[in-house]
A and B are shown apart, each in its own frame.
Chain A
Amino acid sequence: MKVNLVITRPIFRVLLTTIITVVGFMLLTVFLPWQKNDGIEVGTDLTEYSMPWTNNSPFYPSEWQTEDHKLVNWRSVPSATYCAECHEKEYKEWASSIHAITGPDAIYEGSILENELNSENGGEYATEKIRWCDGCHEPLGILAGEGTPVVAVGPNEALEEGATCILCHTATKADPLAGNAGLTLNINEIKRYMSPSLIMAAPEQHALSMQAKSHNPMMGESEMCGTCHTEIRPTRVNGDFPLHFQETFDEWRLSSYAEQGIECQNCHMHPEPAQYIQALKRGERPKRKVSHRFVGNNYLLTAAGAIPDKLLVDLRGGWFPGRNVFMTSEEWLTDLKKQQALILDLLKEAADLKVRKKPSKNNQQLRLDVSITNSGAGHYLPTGALDQRHMWIEVKATDEAGNNVYHSGWFDQEKGVTDPNAVMYIKTMLDKEQNLIDRHILFDVEKMYYQRKPIRPNETDHVPYVINLPTDVQGKLTVEVTLWYRLALQPIVENIKKNLVPAPNLDGVIIPPIIMKKTIINIDNVI
């Protein structure tokens, strides 16, 4: 068999074009300028950057790492509004979340300034120490090199955005037990497309750069969240030993939720977290769905309609990025209401409350067992910054005529103060002079203890009440038991008033508590 090969004009054209094209591409590849890494080198590009404790990381005492150990280039780091060009749904969800305002939030801003400027232990390196807090709260600022006394970082909307898209979406490694933002980012070598339309045409490299879950399973694991939801004060900030302030990840790690593979994202990134938890309680395991609302506990900074719009915007540290481009103010405020409804539903799903009358020695004594079960949270209840976030029990007994015969756990709506004798799940913090720290001055904490320990997942806390009834009480009693949750103590507002210029008008503003659970029982056998 002999093959007679004839090269016709068309074949010749194909061969010639192929050769010319390949040579052209080779030349393009060799000569077209491209900067693979646009990170900023401390010491070379940024000579005035202060690193008083270690040369290993420009971000210490936060635990951030970049794969190339360089700072992020503030000129090129993309804002959430850039992502919103295509991912509008995700952007809108995020814009209403608390992740969008971890930095500008007035409560945080006031507290951070108080720690930096007015705390006992701020001292000479107060600005550098703030990297510990800002690492999670103003991450891009720290990554770009703002946490230094002589700042050489220009303006970029992204740096003000709190926990913004590019952070989680360039994370390659997580060290949740180290906490304090223990993430490693591959952020300086993102493959930047010439145009968003090219991302759409060939998104594979984008998905790789942005750590799509299909490439990086860590995106769907609790370890990712744990890096910031673990807060440990390093000894460089104060103290002889690291002080564990928040251990939400570890609480989850040792729970049955971790054993069952129910990750943080399953609940907190579900579009309807309360519904997801209800399904878990029924023994179901619904398919994971993803929303970027990050529904948590902050019912205050999502309280559109309940707080005047201006005050809400001031407390959130301003309007959202991309206002009137991707969303109008009205749309956003409406969405905030939805966000708050999801938060309230989630909080109400977290606990179960039961009240049982116990046998008494005599009829003038009422003994109750109030039991609170952490039935819906994969971490302790409450969790987080437990010097501020707290729960307490209110027990109110009234006689047939409606007279108060017992009242524990009252809340003064005008002063924002809770009954000091209430059963309260809160961490008390003291400074070295044993003064109470109730404004989140974590730099100065020397000692801390729980008034009542938070409740572990699926565990029940039994709280005994012995009520000595007045001698004239007769007939039926109605006992109303309420489990309250409050985001923060009232004195935290002072940080805002004292440190923010201009400070929002907070006269008469009370941080409200919300009801998690309420139950009423009637008791017949009182004489």
Chain B
Amino acid sequence: MSFFKLTIAEDAQEKRTQSYQNLQAILGALLIVLTLTITSGFWYLLVPHDVNWNASQSIMVLHLAAGLCSTIMFMVFFFLHLKDKKVQWWQFLTPWRIKRKESANKQQWQQRVLGAILTWLLLGALLTGLYITFPAISFHFGTVELHGYGLQKILNACHQSLSILMVPVFMWHMLWIVLKR
């Protein structure tokens, strides 16, 4: 088992291309902010606020800021990644219909399906988060727009469940699991 393999691309020539370098840069930044978002979100959710409410608040601010950055970066990464993998954007709408290319092995095909599912979960988590935050953002622009508390609770439940589902899929997608028979 090779434990530290610090790049995905195998081909040395491919690694030198501009698009690959761009993708890597975006991916690097996205991973950092997304990790920050996930960690801070779960910290706020799981660590009792009574331990230190001010710390919870600071972590929530970080979660909101990182979440906003993640959403923007994810959009950019999403299209670059699709282009890189030569996949049409609309294919992520129907992951169950993604056809296996003749040249691709089963694991690569599974990885694509998993990628589409991850995209759905990520988008869901990020967009519900954004929607939950909308009143806070509008307040800063001088407008008070509150969700009803019921809607707020539903949105929060969606945001949390999608995030909980997203984490293992995210790890699975990234881990590049190779099954050797």
Bound complex: CA A201 to CA B145 (Å)? 11
Bound complex: CA A396 to CA B38 (Å)? 79
Q: Which residues on B sit within 8 Å (CB–CB) of A88? A: 144
Q: Which of B59, B146, B156 meets A25, CB within 8 Å?
A: B59
Structural contact, B35 and A2, CB atoms closer than 8 A? no
Structural contact, A29 and B40, CB atoms closer than 8 A? no
Q: Which residues on B sit within 8 Å (CB–CB) of A28? A: 52, 55, 58-59
Structural contact, B178 and A4, CB atoms closer than 8 A? yes
> Does B169 reach chain A (CB closer than 8 Å)?
no
Bound complex: CA A86 to CA B135 (Å)? 10
Q: Which of B7, B40, B49 meets A21, CB within 8 Å?
A: B40
Q: Which of B2, B44, B50 meets A36, CB within 8 Å?
A: B50
Q: Which residues on A sit within 8 Å (CB–CB) of B156? A: 204
Q: Which of B3, B27, B135, B153 meets A201, CB within 8 Å?
A: B135
Structural contact, B57 and A10, CB atoms closer than 8 A? no
Q: Which residues on A sit within 8 Å (CB–CB) of B133? A: 201
Q: Which residues on B sit within 8 Å (CB–CB) of A13? A: 28, 31-32, 35
- If A32-B58, A194-B61 touch, does A10 touch B1 (CB 8 Å cutoff)? no
Structural contact, A5 and B175, CB atoms closer than 8 A? yes
- How far apart are A16's CB and chain B's nearest CB, in angstroms? 9
Structural contact, B54 and A32, CB atoms closer than 8 A? yes
Structural contact, B136 and A17, CB atoms closer than 8 A? no
Chain B residues within 8 Å of chain A by Cβ, number:
53
- How far apart are A177's CB and chain B's nearest CB, in angstroms? 32
> Does A9 reach chain B (CB closer than 8 Å)?
yes
Q: Which of A8, A86, A194 meets B144, CB within 8 Å?
A: A86
Structural contact, A29 and B51, CB atoms closer than 8 A? yes
Could you say which of A14, A30, A191, A201 has the most chain B C-beta atoms within 10 Å of its C-beta? A201
Bound complex: CA A389 to CA B152 (Å)? 44
CB-based nearest A residue for B29: A13
Q: Which residues on B sit within 8 Å (CB–CB) of A36? A: 50, 53
- How far apart are A75's CB and chain B's nearest CB, in angstroms? 17
Structural contact, A200 and B139, CB atoms closer than 8 A? yes
Bound complex: CA A469 to CA B144 (Å)? 68
- If A86-B144, A201-B60 touch, does A12 touch B4 (CB 8 Å cutoff)? yes
- B:150-181 near A, CB below 8 Å: 152-153, 156, 174-181
Structural contact, B7 and A8, CB atoms closer than 8 A? yes
Structural contact, B54 and A34, CB atoms closer than 8 A? yes
Q: Which of A3, A32, A192, A198 meets B52, CB within 8 Å?
A: A32
Q: Which residues on A sit within 8 Å (CB–CB) of B49? A: 191, 205
Could you say which of A14, A22, A214 has the most chain B C-beta atoms within 10 Å of its C-beta? A14
Q: Which residues on A sit within 8 Å (CB–CB) of B50? A: 36
Q: Which of B5, B7, B174 meets A14, CB within 8 Å?
A: B174
> Does B123 reach chain A (CB closer than 8 Å)?
no
Q: Which residues on A sit within 8 Å (CB–CB) of B12? A: none
- How far apart are A214's CB and chain B's nearest CB, in angstroms? 7
Could you say which of A33, A196, A197 has the most chain B C-beta atoms within 10 Å of its C-beta? A197
Structural contact, A198 and B60, CB atoms closer than 8 A? yes
> Does B64 reach chain A (CB closer than 8 Å)?
yes
Structural contact, A202 and B53, CB atoms closer than 8 A? no
Structural contact, A200 and B135, CB atoms closer than 8 A? yes
Could you say which of B49, B51, B139, B153 has the most chain A C-beta atoms within 10 Å of its C-beta? B139
| 4 closest cross-chain pairs (CB), A and B | A200-B135, A201-B136, A197-B136, A34-B54
* 7 A-B residue pairings within 8 Å (CB atoms): A4-B1, A6-B2, A10-B8, A13-B28, A14-B35, A34-B54, A198-B136
Chain B: residues with CB nearer than 8 A to chain A? Answer: 1-8, 27-28, 31-32, 35-36, 39-40, 43-44, 47, 49-55, 57-61, 64, 132-133, 135-137, 139-140, 144, 146, 149, 152-153, 156, 174-181
